[in-house]
Amino acid sequence: MPMPPLFATLMFIGLLSMNATPAGAKPPAYPDACLDTLALEIAPGENRPYVHSGYGNAFFYGSTGTEAGDGHMGFYAGEPKLFRDFQVFADGRRLDRAQARVTYYPDRLAVAWDGGVRLEIIPLYPDRHYLRFRLTGAPPSVFDFFLTLEQPEEKTEMRGDLISVRTVRAQDTLWYGLAAADGFAFPPHEESAASEALQPYLAMVRNGEALRGRVAGDGFDLVFLYALTREAMTTAWDAVKADPEAGRRSRRAWLLEEINRAYFHCANEEINRAVNWVKISLAQLWAEDETALWAGYPWFNDCWGRDTFISLAGACLVQGKFAQAKALLERFAKWQNRDPASPDYGRIPNRARFGDIGYNTADGTPWFVRGVYDYGLYSGDFALWRDYLADSGAVRIAMDGTLQHHTDSLGFLVHGEAETWMDAVGVDGPWSPRGDRAVEIQALLRDQLLRTGEMAWHFPELRQSPEVSPLSQHWQKAAGRLQASFHKYFIRPDGLGLYDHLNRDGTPDSQIRPNQLFALTIAPSLLTGEEGLRERIIATVRDSLVYPWGVASLAQTDREFHPYHQYPLYPRDAAYHNGVVWTWLSGPYKNAAKSGWVITKSEMDQVLRRGAPGTLPELLDAVPKAGEAFPRPAGTVSQAWSLAEFLRAWYQDYLGLQPVRATAVKTANAWELIPVLPRDWGDFQVRLQLRDTPVLFSAAIQDDSVRFRFQSEAPLSAPIRLALFAPWSHVGVGEGMEIVLSDGSPEEVTFPREGDWIEYVSPAGNLPARTLRYRLFLPEESPDDYLQPQIAADLKALQPPAHWLLTGPEIKAENSHATVLVDADDPAGDDTGDGGYTYPTGPHFRPGILDLTHVRVTYDSTSVYFRLAFRDLVQPGWRPEYGFQLTFATIAINTGCTDVIHREAVGRNSGWTLPREYAADRFVHVGGGLRVENENGDVLAEFIPSGTEFPLGDAAHKEVSFALPRDLLPCPPEMWRLAVLVGAQDDHGGGGLGEFREVAEKAGSWTGGGGGPGKPNVYDWFYHPGK
């Protein structure tokens, strides 16, 4: 890609100033125009998802080449989606994005067609995220602009230059709509029905019904807004039109601050672009005025404890975002379980989502404690340590709860099968069970014990108190006991490093997974005394799991390996932690192995050229699909810990910057700088946020020398001490050297260079100074040095099942002349279970989707035809191949055959027992696919949807229909008795058939209400013959 002229000029100026910052000179920073040079070009027909967001609670997830090509696409304000996509027509002809050249900028998306027509989608403001749609360059035309709405509109108003819609949400109402920034006035109107007389060039569309109208001109300028009340939206619009460019200016200023706070600039323009894009995309995952960090777009727009605190270093600490880090810690401390009687006492939530909080994680809490510790060292705010170590403080409670409820006699932290980061659960339980002692959980416990003790040691009054001192000694002993047990039970005798986990019966699990890396990155002291173990761990992970594009979750030689995230023969969650590459794992690998630049280059290529532009995804397939050179991105298109680990590794591993541990130096602003530099950087400048002081670190790289320069950019309240090339404890005893910034003057030092190595002189206390060699540059490596993808011919995951796989033509066969067995109505409005059931409160659980209204069953000599009608059905679009979602049905058939056993328990988490006379020998489950089972639960046949050609459901017509071959259903149909049971579908997020969703005592976003222990999860039912 050629270097943009402006960016090249900026780079040249930066390099000229690299070794000198004259007094009074402006600190180096990217100017506003830099945002335009970050443009990413997307060719016509190249369909790429994209995300624009701010740090409020809204985001827009769209596609460059299609309209709502993914069911998750649309504009979200918090949880609810307000509209799915937009369409533009000129003189009745749709402006097709697939024919356009698309340019993605940090602050807008530009869509350009031949002839000069250009549409810009411009997010306004960083905290509110309104959207501006501006079309220019068109010949005089008649335009229609459409927004496809997601929710039913309750009321529509057109007043002057603002059209607004009110929609009902679970807890309140929301107003949203479009305003005409170019002065067009909408005629007064207050009806939702379509009307050709209105004449606006806006059409709000839902289910094909539109408010439509047209106006002539050469373009348009519209702003999408939202607010809780009509008055608030009007006020917001008044503010926007008073200064239409203010929203764009404030957004650009925010993005510039994000890339300049921890400014990085090197001689390689492509690297600069990638790093700046990572910062920008990570900034757009902040929410609620930068007090929350969403895990990923589009479906993890909520707070995850584990993800948040794994991301803390890259998202906050290395960038100097200390206020935001503290806000995250305080938010989760408020969510901490503080009930001493609860088994979750002391735990930090796994997930907090719009009122629902769950504590099903063993690692969120130690990651939180690690975050508290690191925040204190990076920011110098040790008061938070004191507060959290108090009797009711979050760190103290976390330690108490862990030791009281979750440790065994060996000192290990015990946990559930799916309470680690490998947490995918399906209908039949965890997809990658790791109970009850996972290797990284033990490393995290060791880290939590040591860091809690170090924080207490920091305060003499705590260190010496009669209450804390014994506790501190107890924590130290617990750490020692854990280490001894770890050596005994986790070290593999076969030379492959560490076992992944210990099973509940104490036997070790021998699968090769990446989790043993965390023993090196989180608690390296855990391995003290085991010579060569570090090298064996790195070699095992590198040789079995590390591809040129990232780190796999399971070795490709394992029989359970799943090479692709999406594959017709298994649900996505089956592969989630059983093979696919997790982008964030490259960070721990880079840290442990002190290498991985090939992976970093692949990640930068992804940021600039693959997947969602400007960001990193949650996952990659482990192996490229046939005929493709690179694995496909998967999971969320923009993931916080993927981006955060990229930045953490940049500053902590490549630059080698770390604050000195509390036990080494008490309150001084002391840091270690142990760089391992990529050669591709060349000369560079970087702003290091050392507590309250930004320090500019410059490096001039020559063939025979390297010159470092350090310059404080603010007055120093206290000296800054830097230990170079060795840990702080080694400086003064024969290794490393110290740089002290004390009076604002720059410090500069030049080192002789020979290849990857430099030489430096190390003062050694009272010993004579000596010259030492230090490897400053990463070793050369190529993609060929990494694991090459290979799929075993008999890989279990890719083999078809032993039972009958039904085809699309088989399940969608029709015969309008078939013999009628059942053709009966079921009362509408009876979808309340025993009379008190309520739907989940999430916006997609629309009233009527669990209300069966008609059953029709017909048959002929070859097939049986089923048609179930409902009061409503929804298709959010997450799985378009199903045709509907969130409704689950089981048809239990007593075929009348006397030579089989009949079963009364329906299963599939229904909690339903059939009356004896309806006890069945065939069970047809319908949800994310279709499955036929016999009385023993054996699967006889299955239909796995893989495309949209043969959907089981039709949400528009509110029915589910399919056919089954007669061979699956014995005995004449006229002998049958059948029951149809309906509830909400739950696939546990991973796709697949699913099961009946839980009905709890109290409804939540994803659980129904009015049920509880002992109650079934069925909302509606039908019996034939009638009962």
CA dihedral angle for residue 46, residue 72, residue 302, residue 337, rounded to 10 degrees: -130
| Lookup: tokens for 193 | 């029905």
Helices (H) and strands (E) in the chain, counts: 20, 60
Is 594's pLDDT higher than 90? yes
CATH number of the domain bearing residue 219: 2.70.98
pLDDT (0 to 100) of residue 194: 36
Q: 769: closest CA among 760, 780, 778, 782?
A: 760
Are 83 and 100 a contacting pair, CB within 8 Å?
A: no
Instruction: Check which CATH number belongs to the domain holding 823 and give it.
Output: 2.60.40.1190
Asked if residue 992 lies in contact with residue 929, where contact means CB atoms within 8 angstroms, the answer is yes
Residue 795 forms part of a structural domain? no
**Which among 994, 1020, 1018, 978 is positioned nearest to 891, based on CA atoms?**
978
Q: With contact defined as beta carbons under 8 Å apart, do 593 and 786 qualify?
A: no
Average pLDDT over residues 449-465: 89
Write the pLDDT tens digit of every residue in 382-441.
999 999 999 999 999 999 999 999 999 999 999 999 999 999 999 889 999 999 999 999
Q: What pLDDT is recorded for position 192? A: 37
Is residue 216 predicted with pLDDT exceeding 60?
Answer: no
Beta-strand relationship, 657-659 and 757-764: unpaired
Instruction: Give residue-wise pLDDT tens across range 917-943.
Output: 999 999 999 999 999 999 999 999 999
418 shares its domain with 352: yes
The reply to whether 780 falls in a domain is no
243-272 mean pLDDT? 97
Residue 265: CB partners within 8 Å, gap ≥ 6? 11, 14, 28, 30, 272, 684, 685, 686
Determine the average pLDDT of the residues in 312-327: 98
Examine the pLDDT at 2 and tell me if it is beyond 80. no
pLDDT at 19 exceeding the cut of 80? no
Task: Classify residue 6: in a domain, yes or no.
Answer: no
| 170 pLDDT tier (thresholds 50, 70, 90) | low
Q: What is the pLDDT of residues 324-339, one digit of tens each?
A: 999 999 999 999 999 9
Give me the domain span that covers residue 236: 40-253
Report which DSSP code applies to 617: -
If asked whether residues 619 and 668 sit together in one domain, one would say no
* 565, 662: one domain: no
From 654, 678, 700, the end of a domain falls on: 654
Exposed (0-12), middle (13-18) or buried (19+): which is 557, by Cβ within 10 Å?
Answer: exposed
Structure tokens at 477: 């002993």
- Residue 878 falls within a domain, yes or no? yes
Q: Which residue has the higher pLDDT, 543 or 84?
A: 543
> What are 1016's two structure tokens?
């079934």
Q: Is residue 380 part of a domain?
A: yes
Give the model confidence (pLDDT) of 776-830 as tens digits.
999 999 999 999 999 999 999 999 999 999 999 999 999 999 999 999 999 999 9
Tell me what percent of the residues of the chain surpass a pLDDT of 90.
Answer: 76
Residues 768 and 878 placed together within one structural domain of the fold = no
What span, in angstroms and rounded, lies between the C-alpha atoms of 419 and 424?
Answer: 9
Residue 554 confidence (pLDDT) above 80:
yes
The pTM (predicted TM-score) of the whole model is 0.93
CA–CA dist 469, 165 (Å, integer): 62
Same domain, 977 and 931: yes
The bridge status of strand 705-712 relative to strand 720-724 is unpaired
pLDDT of residue 1010: 97
Using the predicted structure, report yes or no on whether residue 730 has a pLDDT greater than 80. Answer: yes
Flag whether 121 is in a domain.
yes
Any domain includes 292: yes
- Where a domain ends, among 616, 637, 654? 654
Question: Token pair for residue 851?
Answer: 């209300």
Distance CA(223)–CA(205), nearest Å, equals 17
Q: Which stretches does DSSP call E strand in 207-360?
A: 209-210, 215-217, 220-227, 264-266, 286-287, 292-293, 296-297, 303-304, 351-353, 356-358
Say which range, 340-349, 694-703, 821-830, 835-844, has the weakest mean pLDDT.
835-844
Question: Residue 4: its pLDDT value, please?
Answer: 42
Residues 647 and 523 in one domain: yes
Residue with structure tokens 């608690």?
523
Give tens-digit pLDDT for 961-1018. Answer: 999 999 999 999 999 999 999 999 999 988 899 999 999 999 988 999 999 999 999 9
List the beta bridge partners of residue 177: 164, 225
Select from 656, 686, 685, 673 the least CA-distant residue to 778: 656
- Separation of first and last alpha carbons in the chain: 72
Q: Are residues 127 and 50 in the same domain?
A: yes
* Closest listed residue to residue 57, CA positions, set 311, 244, 224, 284: 284
* Strand 819-825 versus strand 58-63 pairing type: unpaired
Q: Kindly provide the b/e burial profile for residues 781-793, where b requires at least 16 CB atoms within 10 angstroms of the residue's own CB.
A: eeeeebbebeeee
- Is 958 inside a domain boundary? yes
Please indicate, yes or no, whether residues 993 and 979 belong to a single structural domain of this protein.
yes
> Within this chain, do residues 616 and 671 fall inside the same structural domain, yes or no?
no
DSSP H or E segment with residue 259 = helix 246-261
| pLDDT value at residue 208 | 37
For the chain, give the longest Cα–Cα distance. 102
Among candidates 142, 184, 141, which has minimal Cα distance to 163? 184
Number of structural domains (the chain) is 4
pLDDT in the model for residue 664: 62
Q: Are residues 865 and 1013 in the same domain?
A: yes
Q: How far is CA 495 from CA 499, 540, 541, in A?
A: 11, 8, 12
Give the separation between CA 902 and CA 415, rounded to whole angstroms.
39
**Which pLDDT score is estimated for 152?**
62
Q: What is the 3-state secondary structure (H, E, C) of 623-665?
A: CCCCCCCCCCEECCCEEHHHHHHHHHHHHHHHCCEEECCCCCC
CA distance 737 to 247: 49
> Token pair for residue 403?
């030791």
Angle formed by the axes of helices 586-593 and 640-648, to 10°? 20
Both structure tokens of 33 = 């125009």
CA atoms of 704 and 709, how far apart (whole Å) = 17
Dihedral (CA of 455, 460, 461, 462) sign = positive
184 pLDDT band (50/70/90 cuts)?
Answer: low
Domain at 342, CATH number: 1.50.10.10
pLDDT at 764 over 80: no
247 and 300 fall within a common domain = no
- How many CB atoms within 10 Å of residue 288? 16
Chain-centre distance of CA 523, in angstroms? 26
| 3-state SS, residue 858 | strand
Provide the pLDDT confidence category of residue 212 given band limits of 50, 70 and 90: very low
Residue 51 has pLDDT above 90, yes or no: yes
CATH of the domain at 743: 2.60.420
Report, as an integer, the average pLDDT of 477-505.
98
Q: pLDDT band at residue 161, thresholds of 50, 70 and 90?
A: confident
Question: Are 900 and 887 in the same domain?
Answer: yes
